[in-house]
């Protein structure tokens, strides 16, 4: 007796039960498969023929098949019994399904795109499966950088690129910076890259697959003033007129100087509360594009400068005023009671 024989017997029974057109047919099938001399019963009797090390595993498989068939027989019998009792008038108009709406992450991506398009940004999107050089090396990250650890990044099995190295699931939209520089070649560049990213993290504020939006502006004489102005414009348009941003010194390999971007709390408007502790919430990272990254993108850092910022779509959306989403994983649940609220 093999597992394939058990699976085939179960599948054969399921197909016949679903085709049954009366409760009497269902009862006949119950006897054929689960009766004293039924096909599944005979398989149970043959268990003693198996070696002891395989008997338990096969027994579990047969038992699961028996449970599945018993449940299906019962539900099919109930369904056919109700069908006989019900009266149906085909001339009565059907019930119209309730109209749905776009998923809240799709709504957030559309709103983010529209906000940046107002100040001249063009929407782009680059590969979710990326080469190491675009994800790390070209962004000024050394080979021993912690982000390259297999506990942080998903590496894809396959041949290495002779120039760009290993293949990875892109861990951030920052890889689009180099691709956009190579595509445009001659600034000005003003892009907003929104795409899926992948990291080996999962908890209330992290998930293995999430969305980021990456802003990149490159031209002559671009300074931090332009970066701050862009961030303030986005904050006021996306979060509300009363929200403000601040730049806090930080370190990223691909920007210099680098900043963490904070936004005033939407609950207390910056006065301080249990959520924010001091009036500010961390929004994401930003900074002036590192000269090495400009060179790797084919641009002369003595002529051009620029700024970049990269934030999570889900995290940014969760910080909107009036929303109370305690766990990022709820955004990807299939619970309509939650999703219908948005």
Q: Which residues contact 174 (CB under 8 A, 6 or more apart)?
A: 135, 139, 214, 254, 308, 310
E-state strands within 228-269? 245-252, 255-264
CA–CA gap between residue 121 and residue 113 (Å, rounded): 8
Average pLDDT over residues 53-80: 84
In this prediction, residue 203 has a pLDDT band, given cuts at 50, 70 and 90, of confident
Residue 219 is predicted with a pLDDT of 96
Domain ranges of the chain: 3-85, 104-126+171-339
CA–CA gap between residue 266 and residue 203 (Å, rounded): 23
Handedness of CA 209, 333, 201, 283 (dihedral sign): positive
Q: Strand order in 129-131's β-sheet? A: 129-131, 165-169, 155-161
CA–CA gap between residue 53 and residue 31 (Å, rounded): 31
2-6, 61-65, 200-204: which is most confident: 61-65
In this prediction, residue 228 has a pLDDT band, given cuts at 50, 70 and 90, of very high
With contact defined as beta carbons under 8 Å apart, do 266 and 255 qualify? no
Residue 151 is predicted with a pLDDT of 56
In this prediction, residue 192 has a pLDDT band, given cuts at 50, 70 and 90, of very high
Greatest alpha-carbon pair distance for the chain in Å reads: 87
Higher pLDDT, 203 or 163: 163
CA–CA gap between residue 192 and residue 123 (Å, rounded): 5
Average pLDDT over residues 298-303: 96
When mean pLDDT is compared across 190-204, 300-314, 315-329, the lowest value belongs to 315-329
When mean pLDDT is compared across 176-190, 210-224, 261-275, the lowest value belongs to 261-275
Higher pLDDT, 221 or 85: 221
Average pLDDT over residues 81-107: 78
In this prediction, residue 1 has a pLDDT band, given cuts at 50, 70 and 90, of low
With contact defined as beta carbons under 8 Å apart, do 266 and 317 qualify? no
Q: Which of 227, 234, 229, 281 is nearest to 258 (CA)?
A: 227
Higher pLDDT, 40 or 266: 40
- Residue 214 pLDDT > 90: yes
Per-residue pLDDT reduced to its tens digit, 144-185: 777 666 557 888 988 999 999 999 999 999 999 999 999 999
Bridge partners, 286 (sequence order): 259, 309
Q: What are phi and psi of 204, to 5 degrees?
A: -65, -20
Tell me the fold of 104-126+171-339.
BirA Bifunctional Protein; domain 2 (3.30.930)
Six-digit token string for 277: 């502790």
Q: Which of 198, 157, 283 is nearest to 232 (CA)?
A: 283
Q: What percent of the chain has pLDDT over 70?
A: 93
CA–CA gap between residue 250 and residue 260 (Å, rounded): 6
0.85 exceeded by pTM: no
With contact defined as beta carbons under 8 Å apart, do 178 and 134 qualify? yes
Average pLDDT over residues 13-24: 86
- Residue 83 pLDDT > 90: no
Six-digit token string for 24: 């009497």
Residue 30 is predicted with a pLDDT of 87
Residue 230 is predicted with a pLDDT of 95
CA torsion 41-46-52-57 (nearest 10°) is: -40
Kindly report the length of the chain.
342
Mean pLDDT for the chain overall = 86
């Amino acid at each position: 007796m093999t597992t394939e024989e058990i699976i085939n017997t179960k599948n054969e029974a399921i197909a016949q039960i679903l085709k049954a057109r009366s409760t009497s047919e269902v009862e006949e099938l119950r006897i054929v498969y689960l009766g004293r001399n039924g096909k599944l019963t005979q398989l149970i009797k043959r268990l003693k023929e198996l070696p002891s090390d395989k008997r338990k595993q096969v027994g579990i498989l047969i038992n699961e098949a028996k449970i599945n068939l018993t449940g299906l027989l019962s539900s099919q019998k109930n369904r056919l019994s109700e069908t006989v009792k019900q009266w149906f008038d085909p001339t009565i108009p059907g019930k119209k399904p309730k109209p749905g709406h776009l998923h809240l992450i799709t709504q957030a991506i559309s709103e983010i795109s529209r906000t940046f398009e107002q100040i001249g940004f063009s929407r782009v999107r680059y590969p979710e499966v990326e080469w190491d050089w675009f994800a790390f090396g070209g962004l000024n990250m050394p080979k021993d950088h912690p982000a390259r650890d297999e506990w942080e990044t998903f590496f894809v099995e396959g041949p290495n690129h002779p120039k760009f190295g290993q293949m990875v699931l892109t861990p951030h939209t920052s890889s689009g910076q180099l691709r956009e520089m190579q595509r445009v070649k001659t600034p000005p560049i003003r892009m907003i890259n929104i795409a899926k990213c992948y990291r080996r993290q999962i908890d209330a504020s992290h998930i293995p697959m999430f969305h980021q939006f990456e802003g990149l502006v490159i031209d002559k004489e671009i300074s931090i003033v332009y970066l701050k102005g862009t961030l303030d414009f986005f904050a006021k348009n996306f979060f509300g007129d009363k929200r403000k941003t601040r730049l806090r010194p930080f370190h990223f390999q691909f920007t210099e100087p680098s900043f963490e971007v904070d936004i005033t709390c939407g609950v207390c408007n910056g006065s301080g509360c249990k959520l924010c502790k001091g009036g500010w919430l961390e929004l994401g990272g930003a900074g002036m594009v590192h000269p090495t990254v400009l060179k790797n993108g084919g641009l002369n850092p003595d002529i051009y400068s620029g700024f970049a910022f990269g934030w999570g779509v889900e995290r940014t959306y969760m910080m909107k005023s009036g929303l109370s989403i305690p766990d990022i994983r709820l955004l990807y649940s299939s619970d309509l009671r939650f999703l219908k609220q948005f």
